[in-house]
């Protein structure tokens, strides 16, 4: 039964971006304070987690009355081991689509155009024109987007603006949309990679997708292809990818890794042809108003129907 006046605990950082939610009691809390429970010990129906939720995740079972959790991340596998029985979990659908797609596009362009080489030369005070006229281009490239959800579609829209051929792949085949003629099933992936210059990984991590991009998938890519991962590190077989890059056959540009964070001296940080950013794809100021709008919709849905939208798991 829907509570007469549901109680929601919301991080202080999102309050200025929260819209009107009449009929919901909103309790603000400091998301950086892992020692104090959200709600101050009061029963909380809906807990909205902050962007940096690690300490609070481990204390979810201590929050009295908890019925639902709203994550501030698109990924949710990290939260599930901490969710109490009977509690629904919703991820941040749509919040990170645009910034993550921007990061994927930035990684592709940086890797294809050799921007890391120029940045290093500038840091050393050198004017380096090596490779001029030989750098790879994004235009006219075949880009396979593995994972055609919100992030995959946002990236595809940008890739088409860069005059690419976009091949969309999802868990199951389906009809196309306004961006692509068809969406291929993941079972067809190896056959779609033969002529690809770029493979972008944008699927959520699950038992089905863990290790999905394995040695066999990588072997199906042509020489000098670029593998971009903005999903989760464990979707790609780290050892297999490093072996291909170390041999000089493939290149990689990744915003996520396995393990994460990378320990000092990890091969990802020194293997030629590998560009690493430290999981910062969704971390832009745009995340706050987008998350605020999303939380407003979620609290309204919970007030009106007693449940969240976009529930990805119920413990």
Model pLDDT, residue 40: 87
Model pLDDT, residue 282: 86
pLDDT digits (tens, 9 = 90+) for 128-187: 988 777 789 999 999 999 999 999 999 999 999 999 999 999 999 999 999 999 999 999
pTM over 0.75: yes
Tokens representing residue 19 in the block:
């819209």
Tokens representing residue 209 in the block:
């997708």
Q: Tell me how far apart the alpha carbons of residues 267 and 277 are, in angstroms, rounded to a whole number.
A: 14
What is the set of active-site residues?
232, 260, 279
Model pLDDT, residue 127: 95
Q: Tell me how far apart the alpha carbons of residues 186 and 265 are, in angstroms, rounded to a whole number.
A: 34
Q: Tell me how far apart the alpha carbons of residues 2 and 110 are, in angstroms, rounded to a whole number.
A: 50
Model pLDDT, residue 120: 93
Which residues 6+ apart lie within 8 Å of 178 measured at CB?
none
Q: Tell me how far apart the alpha carbons of residues 130 and 107 are, in angstroms, rounded to a whole number.
A: 20
Model pLDDT, residue 3: 47
3-state secondary structure string, the chain?
CCCCCCEEEEEHHHHCCCCCCCCCEEEEECCCCCCCCCCCCCCCCEEECCCCCHHHHCCHHHCCCCCEEECCCCCCCCCHHHCCCCCEEECCCCCCHHHHHHHHHHHHHHHHCCHHHHHHHHHCCCCCCCCCCCCCCCCCCEEEEECCCHHHHHHHHHHHHCCCEEEEEECCCEECCCCCCEEEEHHHHHHHCCCCCEEEECCCCCCCCCCCECHHHHHCCCCCCEEEECCCHHHECHHHHHHHHHCCCCEEEECCCCCCCCCCCCHHHCCCCEEECCCCCCCCCCHHHHHHHHHHHHHHHHHHHCCCCCEEEEC
Residue 190, CB-side half-sphere exposure with 13 Å CA sphere: 9
Angle between helices 150-161 and 97-112 (to 10 degrees): 50
Cβ atoms 291, 34 nearer than 8 A: no
| Low-confidence residues of the chain: pLDDT under 70 | 1-3, 315
Q: Tell me how far apart the alpha carbons of residues 61 and 83 are, in angstroms, rounded to a whole number.
A: 7
Cβ atoms 14, 295 nearer than 8 A: yes
Burial class of residue 289 in the structure, from the number of CB atoms within 10 Å of its CB (0-12 exposed, 13-18 middle, 19+ buried): middle
């Amino acid at each position: 039964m829907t509570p007469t006046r549901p109680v929601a605990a919301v991080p202080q950082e999102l309050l200025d971006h929260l819209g009107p939610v009449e009929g919901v009691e909103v309790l603000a809390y400091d998301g950086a304070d892992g020692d104090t429970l959200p709600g101050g010990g009061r029963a909380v129906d809906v807990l909205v987690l902050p962007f940096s939720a690690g300490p609070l995740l481990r204390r979810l079972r201590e929050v009295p009355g908890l019925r639902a959790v709203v994550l501030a991340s698109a990924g949710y596998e990290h939260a599930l081991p901490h969710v109490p029985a009977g509690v629904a979990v919703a991820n941040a659908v749509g919040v990170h689509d645009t910034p993550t797609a921007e990061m994927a596009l930035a990684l592709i362009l940086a890797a294809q155009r050799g921007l890391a080489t120029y940045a290093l030369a500038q840091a050393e005070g050198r004017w380096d024109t090596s490779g001029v006229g030989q750098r790879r281009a994004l235009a006219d490239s075949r880009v396979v987007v593995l994972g055609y959800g919100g992030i995959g579609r946002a990236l595809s829209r940008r890739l088409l603006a860069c005059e690419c051929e976009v091949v969309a792949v999802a868990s199951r085949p389906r009809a196309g949309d306004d961006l692509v003629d068809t969406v291929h099933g993941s079972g067809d992936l190896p056959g779609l990679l033969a002529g690809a210059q770029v493979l972008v990984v944008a699927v959520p991590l699950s038992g089905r997708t863990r290790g999905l991009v394995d040695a066999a998938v990588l072997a199906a890519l042509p020489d000098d292809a670029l593998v971009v991962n903005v999903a989760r590190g464990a979707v790609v077989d780290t050892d297999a990818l490093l072996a291909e890059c170390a041999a000089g056959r493939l290149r990689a540009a990744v915003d996520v890794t396995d393990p994460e964070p990378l320990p000092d001296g990890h091969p990802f940080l020194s293997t030629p042809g590998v560009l690493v950013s430290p999981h910062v794809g969704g971390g832009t100021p745009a995340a706050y108003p987008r998350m605020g709008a999303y939380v407003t919709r979620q609290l309204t849905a919970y007030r009106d129907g007693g449940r969240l939208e976009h529930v990805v798991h119920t413990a």
